[in-house]
Structure 1
């Protein structure tokens, strides 16, 4: 790979010395035109080495530092070391009998920003977030094959010019899986498809939340799961003894996916409600019909657009929560979740406080969650710790 030396602005030097991994256009004096994948050496004003990384354009920045050691090159052995460390830290998960899906490698948290690797019962799925890191694909795939036992590898290219997903075969090497792969997570079964675009069927970062819903809160409750996707929270609630679940999502495929989710867990889907509709319209319908639920799960995307609504978590979460509060029984639980990285837990709790002030209801926060341990983050890059989940009891 080509190499290029970049001078860091004085205001960013201490940040990089302390381990900040993201290279941005405003952190260096001049960012010339270059090929994605170019090796970048960051130096201070006196040409002292600060870090070595690669150039890769993604929504967060212009590349990532992979080492602060001037002796370490960006080569096969670097990726082997990083993947080996990551696998070692997850050996408990590899050994767990009731869990066969988790994140093996979490981007900058494990030392290589711009890519993640997820494990699904012997199959691996690598997500590439820039063309820059994709240039190192062969090295990374070879490193993975060397470090762990691999049945097959799939990939997700998430770096098209419009920031959308690049559709192609997704299969990389090894054996092709028979889909769905039925994985386990704390004993709950999830059907996974590594060949159907960017979304595979379950969001692995909610592992502890699903277990908590099943083990502590679902029994005897009526549960509304909004933005339900494949119904993973609904299945967890049903397995935990919920009287009935209602799953609402705008995507047409959500109905068949949710039926499949129930069936792989041995749950009859007939008594459950699975509704394909805009969640905002459903809230209005529920208010009109005076429907109330003992538990409402809110896990919207950071940004969503339907024919009538545009939702941005940073701007609209408070209003969404107000709607949920209205249809939650007194003493009921709201599970408020956001994966938006532009605000932190403190600000999220501010949204919650404001929503309850608007409706005039009292509340108590009973539990909160951030990312599980396999979604490793580093304190020098707080933006990587994006997940915020709060269990709220309506008083």
Structure 2
């Protein structure tokens, strides 16, 4: 059990903690250099009154996360058992759904422990650690998970700076090793998953509802362009929904074999689809030059990306990205605009859309909006945690 230390914080952060804000920001402390990763802090206001317990785990501007406002609650294996068991109970419906065998079991601060996520892949669990601090509780988390639920095997990803000491035995932790690709289901479609091959496993689970909506409502008979396509998950759902054709574009060379594999495990004829390894911005120019147009254009860029020729920041450049997409979208077509940038909210995101259409002298209506699905539980006191913003935009 980690030793507890008394830490005095500034009163504005003390007030935030009392309201339920889970993140402990650097500017809420008088000094942070002496705080060691994984230390349990008994947080006190300037009057010396206890306001909460948290742990030190540095992420971006955060020094750590609040764990409890109960001074008597001990941060031990039982604490983690309680949190993880409650999180699993919250996902009971997912466990019983044979059409979806991949989902999030524990979502950081939304389930009471910031810096920790756990995903389920058909009997296997993937733990992601976002700081050295939370990683110091590894044994407690593993013991809690063992007690809470049966499993085939457990894998992990260290999503913090390990100073080059990351690759440890293909991320396997315990139980049985998986045979990869592991085939999981999402709303009846298949995904090939690799828990043992670097940071990316093959699909982003937070887009489940968006993919299903494309398949159910927007794909039939349509010509679909999927940009920043990664492993082609949106394209798979569009093709399964009866799209006339899909075009998947991504700069990464791995996107070709990975997307091919995703089509193949769903029994979709790859020869009928286009998979293009190219910078998306170059592809927009190419499509415009060739007078190519699409009924549905999917935009799901990373928050920040850099290629040899371009630097993209969703906070600064999404409006221009939309303009590029508009230029090759059919009249009455649909743009699926998505961002996972946590630094701005839906209102700001909609302002990017408004400006892009105004500048292009086009009209639009927003038909559907999405944020995170229900397994990605969030805290109402930490808006940045509900990072996903997706708009289905009808081009007039």
Alignment of 1:335-374 (within 5 A): 335-374=336-375
2-structure distance, mates of 1:10, 1:194: 43
* SS class of match (2:190): strand
Q: For 1:316, what is the secondary structure of its paired residue?
A: helix
Return the offset for 1:33.
1.7
Aligned runs of 1:109-148 on 2, under 5 Å? 109-148=110-149
Is the Cα–Cα contact under 8 Å of residues 26 and 61 in structure 2 kept in the other structure?
no
- Deviation (angstroms), 1:13: 2.1
- Partner-residue secondary structure (3-state), 1:251: coil
Match of 1:331 in 2: 332
Superposition map of 1:1-395 within 5 A: 1-160=2-161, 166-168=166-168, 169-395=170-396
CA deviations on 1:51-94 (whole Å, 9 max, x unpaired) are: 11111111141111111111111100010000011000000000
- Equivalent residues of 2:57, 2:63 under 8 A apart: yes
- The answer as to whether partners of 1:165 and 1:197 remain within 8 angstroms in 2 is no
| SS of alignment partner, residue 26 of structure 1 | helix
Task: Measure how far apart 1:12 and its partner are.
Answer: 2.0
1-structure distance, mates of 2:374, 2:88:
13
CA–CA distance in structure 1, aligned partners of residues 385 and 167 of structure 2: 26
Inter-partner Cα distance in structure 2 for 1:167 and 1:348: 37
Secondary structure of the residue that 1:320 maps to in structure 2?
Answer: helix
Indicate conservation of the 8 Å contact 2:42/2:53, yes or no.
yes
CA distance in 2, matches of 1:202, 1:34: 36
Give, in whole Å, the separation in 1 of the partners of 2:42 and 2:241.
Answer: 52
TM-score of the superposed pair, with normalisation by structure 1: 0.98
Q: Within 2, Cα distance between the matches of 1:165 and 1:279?
A: 33
Worse-superposed segment, 17-26 or 336-345: 17-26
Shift of 1:34: 3.1
The CA distance in 2 between the partners of 1:165 and 1:377, in whole Å, is 31
Report the secondary structure of 2:80's partner residue.
Answer: helix
CA distance in 1, matches of 2:99, 2:165: 32
Q: CA deviation at 1:32?
A: 3.9
Q: Is the 8 A contact 2:299 2:335 kept in 1?
A: yes
Mapped to 1, the partners of 2:167 and 2:248 lie a distance apart of 28
- Structure 1 regions of 5+ residues with no counterpart? none
Are residues 166 and 359 of structure 1, via their aligned partners in 2, closer, same or farther at CA, if it must alter by over 3 Å?
farther
Paired residues, number: 394
Counterparts of 2:26 and 2:63, CA distance in 1: 6
Q: Residues 6 and 31 of structure 1 are in contact (CA less than 8 Å); yes or no, is this contact kept in structure 2?
A: no
What 5-or-longer segments of structure 2 have no aligned partner? none
Displacement of 1:35: 2.2
Give, in angstroms, the shift of residue 47 of structure 1.
1.6
What is the DSSP-based 3-state SS (H/G/I as helix, E as strand, rest coil) of the residue aligned with 1:84? Answer: helix
**Contact 1:248 1:279 (8 Å CA) reproduced:** yes
